[in-house]
Amino acid sequence: MSRRAARLPLARCPSRNRSVARYFFEITNGGVHPDDVGTECRDLKEVHAIALRTLTSIAGEEAAQHDRHSVTVMVRDEAGHPVLDTTLTLTTAWLNRTRN
């Protein structure tokens, strides 16, 4: 996994006048990549959106390299409690042709 993909959700910051909480997006992609910085999010809807964008971004980079690949994003709150666990599995099946 590229470092760029792991840091993609951290670039987004909400406006300062809203109540926010910090969430940590741990990525599992051929190894565990902890998030020691976290991301401030307005609500759980934003947490979910960031997790999905992270999964699809990493899958897009990895798709050409693997016929089967899974990426997981585990989100924890500031107290370390799990909030969201989401996994994307990409499977390619070659049919009736020789793979190059």
Q: Determine the pLDDT at residue 99.
A: 57
Buried/exposed 59-84: b ≥16 CB within 10 Å, e otherwise: beebeeeeeebbbbbbbbbeeeeebb
Q: Is the pLDDT of residue 79 over 60?
A: yes
The predicted-structure confidence for 19-28, as pLDDT tens digits, reads as follows 899 999 999 9
Give the pTM. Answer: 0.73
98: exposed, middle or buried (C-beta count within 10 Å: 0-12, 13-18, 19+)?
A: exposed
pLDDT bucket at 100, cuts 50 / 70 / 90 = low
Coil vs helix vs strand at 57: helix
Q: Domain boundaries in the chain? A: 3-91
| Cβ-based neighbour number of residue 92 at 10 Å | 11
Mean pLDDT over all residues of the chain? 82
Give the closest residue to 24 by CA, choosing from 80, 72, 70: 80
Higher pLDDT: 78 or 16? It is: 78
Q: Are the C-beta atoms of 91 and 70 separated by less than 8 Å? A: no
